[in-house]
Structure 1
Amino acid sequence: MSIGTALFHNVTTRNLSQVNERISDLQGQISSGVNDPRPSADPVRALRLSAAQEQQQALDRYSTNLERAGARLDQADTVLSEVGNVMRRVGELALRAASDTATATERDSIGTEVRALRASLLGLANARDESGRALFGGYGTQSDPFRDGAGGIVYQGDGGQSRLQVSESISLPTGLSGDAVFRMGAEGGDIFALIDDFLGSLATASASPRASASGQGQLSLQPALSRTPAEWNMTVEGPLGRATVSYEAAQGVLSGAVEAINAQTATTGISAALDPENGGLILTAAGDITVSEVSSQPEPGGVLVSVQDAQGRTQALVPSGRTRDALIDRLQDATDYVIDQRTQLGALSADAERQSDVIDNRRLAMDRAVSGLEDLDLPDALTRLQQAMLTRDAAQQTYARITQQSLFDFLR
């Protein structure tokens, strides 16, 4: 089979071009220290490298999420530290206000400071992270979770916990909901409502609101009534015994109380009548009279009933949980509760740190795996480069010798 001169030139040129491309690729790999990334160069290695790089990207995402979670938890911890400071200060003021030496002017000053602390506490409860999301809003992180209104400060968020994926199977909470932080369960109540109760106790004329009031022979009761009817309960105890009475009352409407108390006269020995001077109640009995366990729904706050005995001494009645001694205990419980919430945040931060160490170790192992697939075997590459260059040089010399011959050289 004969080969034409044109075909010979084309085949030789194409082969030399391929050798030169191979040499150029090897030189590029040697200079960069990285294997040829094209799947055609090594399909198995390219597949393994692609899987390893995808895992690297996932680990990078987990690491970023852990950084965000850690920063958010640290910010929440800082805020709760300030909340604890505020609650401790309110507790100190409650102790001062409960002192027998505290004057009305001092209680007014204490009330002014407590209102400022309440505003500061509201700002802390609505604190946001560096991305502008509410720290204590649960899943709702865009709007302020706590709002101050006519009924006090209310929580408008939810009980959820924002979470971030920090591994293939683990999502880590990035904080606590405001419902968990500022509401101490069904019995403990709301921290803001507790401060409002304290402010209400400071507003009373009496230096020490009580849970019960007593007198001999007669007591005058002036309930804190509103235009809206409310359900009232109280326990009355007289010379014959005690009974709990319930009634509905509003401003100018206390007849139900008179009827409820007189219905228990045989049990207690106490009779009730309307006071014609102030529209309140007058209780009479042949002996001691005690009124206690007063409550109203809805709760108006402050003093529920002003009581005056036959000697003209006035006592302020509040629910048992709102006496000054009870408020001091509740404020201490609230401070302890905030400390417990910080402990929970600390546990979450510790989990984030442990998971971060795990991800860092996995990233290091994956970096080594990717490096093993990407990094070039330099001695092998240099050997292949020398072989390719020798092949090229030999082919060029052979081609040059052949192309230098003419027809007369072959006829000789």
Structure 2
Amino acid sequence: MRVSTAQFYLQSSQQMSSKTSDVNEQMAYLTSGKRVLTAKDDAVSYGTLAGYKDDLANIEKYKRNITKAESHNNLQEVAFTQLEVILNNIKDQMLQANNGAMSDEDLQAIAKQTRNNLEQLFDIANSQNENGDYIFSGYQTEQQPFSQQTDGSVSYSGDSGVREVQIAKNIKIPTSQAGDAVFMNVDNAIGDFIANDTSNATNPASPLDVTIASANITDRNAYNTSVTPHTFNFDAITNDLTVTDGGGTVVFPVPSVPPAPPVLPAPYVAGQTVSFDGIDVTLSGNPLPGDSFTINEQENVSIFETINNAITWMEQGTGNTNQEQHQVNYNKILDQLSSGMSHVTSRRVDAGVRLQVLESQKSRHLDSALNIETGKSTIEDLDFAKAISQFEQAKIALQASQQAFSKVQGLSLLNYI
């Protein structure tokens, strides 16, 4: 067979290019330390490795989310710790103010300390994170959540949203607690109602001598069909108790059905529980004849309202003419402060539980990543002894090809003359 010079050079070039490619390919395996670099190396293993790499990428994403969630929940836990200290200080100040040896000046000084504590609590409620986002404003992170009005009351401008991040395939965890849930929605210490629109028979400007020890809805269906609000009336002569609904109908004592004789007003007994329209109310104290008050549903009391009530109580000084009612109000405020402290503690516990979950999930991700890396290593790690042998064979083949070309391309007829 006749071989032209051009054909010889083309074939030689292709052969050396192929051998060079083999050497480079073996070099790539040695350099990377991997035996599967592309799908052509091992299609099945390559697909499995792609799944492993996706799993590892997801774990890295979840770990970043865990770090973010830990930062936010740690910040909240610090805030709740500070709130506990402040509320405990205010409770101590209330106990101190109830000492009969205190003068008006002493009470005003304690009230000033309590007002300073309220300002600190207000600052905590408007805390921001390292990015300048408000941590207690729900989804409205750029909106200052709490603002103080001229009358001392505090309003909430955030929302009830709770931000979450995904820390595992099927697990999301909150990174925030809404300000209304933390500061505004503290359980009412006496239950589901508060007494207002009060009046005193002998002095309308004076508080009542009777108070609500507890008031709870025991039958929601019966309460929902009732006409609210309900008013407690004490007879001007006998001091017997009657309760009427918002339409003026007597609901306690329970009215008789004709032709039975009508039910007379019930004699008031301190500590008695009055039941009507799905509500149980326990009263304490000794009302004056003709006293009356109305109850309205209020399940929650804000922390700010409770502290403002404490300050008002202190600022009344020692000149209060109705000491019995003054003490009743003191007990109510103290009970509500205790409820607020329990509420903040429960919020701190929530943050602590989340941190425990995050720590546990972080450990799981580390274990999962280790298992995936082990499986990935088993599939793709290179057998260096075998790879070096194959590299040397490819290199020898390339060198042989180069030497053959060098010898053959130098031949001519002159060599045989």
Q: TM-score, normalised by structure 1?
A: 0.70
1:181 is the counterpart of 2:182: yes
The equivalent position to 1:390 in structure 2, one of 396, 406, 410, is 396
For residue 367 of structure 2, what is the amino acid of its counterpart? N
Per the alignment, residue 253 of structure 2 pairs with none
Q: Structure 1 stretches of 5 or more lacking a match?
A: 195-210, 225-230, 247-265, 269-287, 305-311
Per the alignment, residue 405 of structure 1 pairs with 411
Instruction: Give how far 1:373 is off.
Output: 4.4
Per the alignment, residue 328 of structure 1 pairs with 334
Instruction: Give how far 1:71 is off.
Output: 1.5
Instruction: Give how far 1:319 is off.
Output: 9.9
Per the alignment, residue 276 of structure 2 pairs with none
In 2, Cα distance between the equivalents of 1:43 and 1:350?
42
> CA separation of 1:41/1:90 partners in 2, compared to 1, >3 Å: closer, same or farther?
same
List aligned pairs for 1:2-401, cutoff 5 A: 2-35=2-35, 37-150=37-150, 152-185=153-186, 187-188=188-189, 219-222=202-205, 235-242=233-240, 289-290=288-289, 294=293, 314-315=321-322, 323-401=329-407
In 1, Cα distance between the equivalents of 2:113 and 2:402?
96
Q: TM-score, normalised by structure 2?
A: 0.69
Instruction: Give how far 1:16 is off.
Output: 0.8
> CA separation of 1:232/1:406 partners in 2, compared to 1, >3 Å: closer, same or farther?
closer
| Residues 43-92 of structure 1, C-alpha deviations (whole Å, 9 max, x = no match) | 44433333222221111000110111112111111110000000000000
Instruction: Give how far 1:358 is off.
Output: 1.0
> CA separation of 1:33/1:98 partners in 2, compared to 1, >3 Å: closer, same or farther?
same
> CA separation of 1:165/1:313 partners in 2, compared to 1, >3 Å: closer, same or farther?
closer
For residue 240 of structure 1, what is the amino acid of its counterpart? T
Instruction: Give how far 1:375 is off.
Output: 3.1
RMSD (Å) for aligned C-alpha atoms: 3.9
> CA separation of 1:114/1:364 partners in 2, compared to 1, >3 Å: closer, same or farther?
same
SS at match of 1:171: strand
In 1, Cα distance between the equivalents of 2:130 and 2:47?
40
Instruction: Give how far 1:96 is off.
Output: 1.3
> CA separation of 1:61/1:293 partners in 2, compared to 1, >3 Å: closer, same or farther?
farther
In 2, Cα distance between the equivalents of 1:110 and 1:293?
33
Identity of aligned residues (%): 20
> CA separation of 1:95/1:237 partners in 2, compared to 1, >3 Å: closer, same or farther?
farther
In 1, Cα distance between the equivalents of 2:241 and 2:20?
109
Q: Report if the CA contact (8 A) 2:187-2:339 is conserved.
A: no
In 1, Cα distance between the equivalents of 2:265 and 2:352?
57
For residue 64 of structure 2, what is the amino acid of its counterpart? T
